Amino acid sequence: MGLERISYPTLDGGELEDTLNTAFAEDLLFEHAIRDPRRQNRLRQWWHKTFLGYGLKYGEVYTPVGNRKALAIWLGPKTPIVSTWKSIPMGMYKAPCMFRPAEFLRMLNTVNAIQELQKRQPDPHFYYLMMLAVHPSQQGKGLGEVLLNTILTRADAEHKPCYLETSKEKNVAYYQSFGFQVFGHGKLTQAGHTFPYWGMIRPAH
């Protein structure tokens, strides 16, 4: 199965955004920060559009050839941590207007907690799996494995570690099957709601 890298800018952005929105329809990050279900979907769409644009411009976005129903967004070892300043022109400047004050604070606290976990890694130069999304209609076909192995193989050749986060415990075992190990685990409680997260690292080979 072949992969293709999507260039910035792309005419396929709408289809890729749809894949992200559908694959992450039950994203615990948004359930934690946005308590109003009616607002979750709209804000999720804006969030995914912003970070898809970020990945296209500053990282690498891959899909199976001719299939936009699965994608991986990777950031390289030179700048693996999402830059606040670079994300602003990609759409993040709208955040204070998009979120209600309490929502914005919860989202900010959650993102900060996740980034603090990233910064604790012993090697600051790593490949970061920003997002891995497979549309439900395409799951179980091995697309996630192909999208992961593209960069994992390169990381091995360059002797670089890889890193990711997940907020779902069931995903931990999946990523462990690719050599990732739990690097850190946290729980952030805000306004009576707890958001769990796992940071996972695949050591350099």
In a domain, 83, yes or no: yes
Residue 12: the pLDDT is: 72
Give the model confidence (pLDDT) of 6-33 as tens digits.
988 777 778 999 999 999 998 899 899 9
What CATH code is carried by the domain that includes residue 55?
A: 3.40.630.30
Residue 121: the pLDDT is: 83
- Which backbone phi and psi does 86 adopt, to 5 degrees? -75, -30
In a domain, 90, yes or no: yes
In a domain, 179, yes or no: no
In a domain, 172, yes or no: no
Residue 40: the pLDDT is: 93
Q: How high is the mean pLDDT of the chain? A: 93
Residues of the chain with pLDDT under 50: none
Q: Is residue 11 left, alpha or beta, with left meaning phi > 0 and alpha meaning psi from -120 to 50?
A: alpha
In a domain, 12, yes or no: yes
Residue 191: the pLDDT is: 86
* Residue 38 CB burial class (10 angstroms; 0-12, 13-18, ≥19): exposed
CA distance 198 to 114: 9
- Nearest-CA neighbor of 199 among 107, 116, 75, 108? 116
- Nearest-CA neighbor of 133 among 67, 180, 176, 72? 72
Q: Into how many domains does the chain fold?
A: 1
In a domain, 182, yes or no: no
What domain range includes position 119?
3-163
In a domain, 153, yes or no: yes
CA distance 201 to 194: 23
Residue 131: the pLDDT is: 97
In a domain, 176, yes or no: no
Give the model confidence (pLDDT) of 90-115 as tens digits.
999 999 899 999 999 999 999 999 99
Residue 83: the pLDDT is: 92
